[in-house]
Amino acid sequence: MTLRYPILFFDADETLLDFRRAEKEALAQTLSAWGVAPLEDACARYRRINDQLWRAFEKGEVTKEEIESQRFARLFAQLGFPGDGVACNRDYLDALGQQGFLLPGAEALCRRLSELGASLYIVTNGISRTQYSRLRLSGLDRWVEGMFVSEDCGAQKPFRQYFQAVFHRLYGDGEPPRGQMLLVGDSLTSDIQGAKNAGIASCWFNPGGKPCTGPLPDYEVSCLEQILPIVQGEPGGGR
């Protein structure tokens, strides 16, 4: 079968991997071990701090190292808790790396795409040791041919330099076959804008039915199984 998009780039968190569940488990484990209470309030505060820092990272306003050094330090400052934020971050990353939860349909989709002969890659902003551990535990490494973590690429999504690094690793100095590529992700600012910067097609994974307030994707799906007809080039695939 000839595929419309035989080369697929998937975002990791909240596209294939269930990051919210992983974060919840790792946070509860880490903050409980550190004696932080009340736990529910601390977790909510952390998520707001962390989301803010990662949005700044996408804009190039902070580095990955600054995220790691600041997120728990800021949390402890808000709580008036006398803890070492950097040490707590290390414990959290260790715990997060042990969470390989998948979103519904991720395993079946990757298996089927691989059976059809598609090449699957993961493009993710994150911390390498954590992301590789989670990919292995999820079992998706059976079908994913490679993963490109921003920490290893010298740039992050959505910047063009990130995708230049990805394409160079895959094709050297040759011209990448952009017309055969599709990037699937849940973030308009990171994934869809990143695809536009890279000159490839994009598919917005939007299970919550959120309004599109950013760059327009080429396709939009509400569940992972809807990606298959898009890849196969079937009429009406996606929106």
Whether the predicted pLDDT of 159 surpasses 70: yes
Q: What percent of the chain has pLDDT over 70?
A: 98
> Any idea which of 24-28, 195-199, 211-215 has the lowest mean pLDDT?
211-215
pLDDT in tens, 195-207: 999 999 999 999 9
Fold of 20-96: DNA polymerase; domain 1 (1.10.150)
When pLDDT is averaged across residues 65-80 and rounded to a whole number, the result is 97
- The candidate with the shortest Cα–Cα distance to 28, out of 18, 19, 38, is 38
The pLDDT value recorded for residue 234 is 87
Burial class (CB in 10 A: 0-12, 13-18, 19+), 7: buried
pLDDT in tens, 118-150: 999 999 999 999 999 999 999 999 999 999 999
Which residues participate in catalysis according to the annotation? 11
The pLDDT value recorded for residue 235 is 75
* pTM, full prediction: 0.94
Do 7-18+102-232 and 20-96 fold alike per CATH?
no
| Domain 7-18+102-232 CATH assignment equals 3.40.50.1000 | yes
Note if the bond before 176 is cis, omega within 30 degrees. no
Label residue 182 by pLDDT band (50, 70, 90).
very high
Label residue 214 by pLDDT band (50, 70, 90).
confident
When pLDDT is averaged across residues 148-161 and rounded to a whole number, the result is 96
The pLDDT value recorded for residue 74 is 98
Whether the predicted pLDDT of 219 surpasses 70: yes
Write the CB contacts of 64 (distance below 8 Å, at least 6 apart in sequence): 57, 127, 150, 151, 156
The pLDDT value recorded for residue 218 is 98
Quote the mean pLDDT of the chain: 96
Q: Which pair of structure tokens corresponds to residue 52?
A: 């803010």
List the chain domain ranges: 7-18+102-232, 20-96
The sheet that has 119-124: what strands, in order across it?
Answer: 144-149, 119-124, 7-10, 181-185, 201-205, 219-221
The pLDDT value recorded for residue 239 is 62
